[in-house]
Structure 1
Amino acid sequence: MIKGFRDFILRGNVIELAVAVVIGTAFTAIVNVIVASVINPLIGLLFKADSLNDALAVPVPTLGGGEVTFAFGAVIGAIINFLAVAVVVYFVFVFPMNSFKERADARRKIGAEPEAEEAPLPTETELLVQIRDLLEKQQSKA
């Protein structure tokens, strides 16, 4: 039982997953700081929304005499926050990395030898014609 656990822990997949979680946590902190200090102030310039949590709150009376509040503003705020994070991740990290990879691939292709084009494979009809011709040759020799 202990040996099985040790084998499980020492597998490459578990170690890689642990590293990915740690890096993902650090990456989340970077993205959150960019969103909080750059993107959110830009959104604040466009419209005054100090707190979206209270902006579209709809109080609804309950059957017991109390009140329940539906905070639609919080949902809209979460959607805006998600889109802001997605924009930051794409334009700060994904787009530059894709451009870098494309340039690296282009450099590799320039230095590489041109690939020789392979001859196209014969069609079924062409193969059948070749087989027929070979059979005719064999029968004429016999």
Structure 2
Amino acid sequence: MKGFREFLLRGNVVDLAVAVVIGAAFTNIINAFVKGIINPIIGLFGTKDLASYRSCLKGPCTLAADGSVSSGVFILWGEVLSAVVQFVITAAVVYFVFVLPMLHFMAKRKTAQEEVLEAEEKEVVLLTEIRDALVRRG
């Protein structure tokens, strides 16, 4: 029981839980963006919703008035296309909003750390030269 408690209280478990919750909330935002903005823009070239694109696979395909299938077999390729568009948008937002700025921040931080290390190395060299000069003096 003690080991399990320690496992739960480790920082990475809490971080993972927070990431899952934030990810779920972020997914809702992306879904709304795709349904509210992207699908209508694509709808300018055809239907109002990508998910409504389908092809008849077998039999006489007919739809009921409410849009449900009354006979035949449909391939719902519009739903797959909609999911792909949503994935690409999600990946782009994650990359451009989170990953790219973090890489930029880390590069700046690394440069600052390198400058500090160079200064420390120069200081060591200078102190060594001073020591050697004092030893030669006497």
- Sort the TM-score into its range (normalised by shorter chain): 0.5 to 0.7
Q: Distance in 2 between matches of 1:115 and 1:49?
A: 65
Q: Distance in 2 between matches of 1:4 and 1:100?
A: 36
Aligned identity (percent) is 45
Contact 2:52–2:79 (8 Å) recurs in 1: yes
Structure 1 runs, 4 residues or longer, greater than 6 Å off: none
Q: Distance in 1 between matches of 2:99 and 2:7?
A: 33
Q: Does 1:50 pair with 2:55? A: no
Distance 1:110 1:10, change over 3 A: closer
Q: Which has the larger strand fraction?
A: 2
Distance 1:5 1:93, change over 3 A: closer
The one-letter amino acid of 2:114's match is K
Q: Does 1:26 pair with 2:25? A: yes
TM-score (structure 2 length as normaliser): 0.57
Equivalent pairs, count: 111
Q: Distance in 1 between matches of 2:101 and 2:6?
A: 39
Following superposition of structure 1 onto structure 2, how do residues 125-140 of structure 1 map, counting pairs within 5 Å? none
Distance 1:14 1:78, change over 3 A: same
Structure 2: gaps spanning 5 or more residues: 61-70, 122-138
State the superposition RMSD in angstroms.
3.3
TM-score (structure 1 length as normaliser): 0.56
Pick one of 51, 60, 81 that aligns with 2:86: 81
Q: Which residue of 2 aligns with 1:100?
A: 105
Distance 1:55 1:80, change over 3 A: same
- Higher Rg of the two aligned structures: 1
**DSSP 3-state at the match of 1:112:** helix
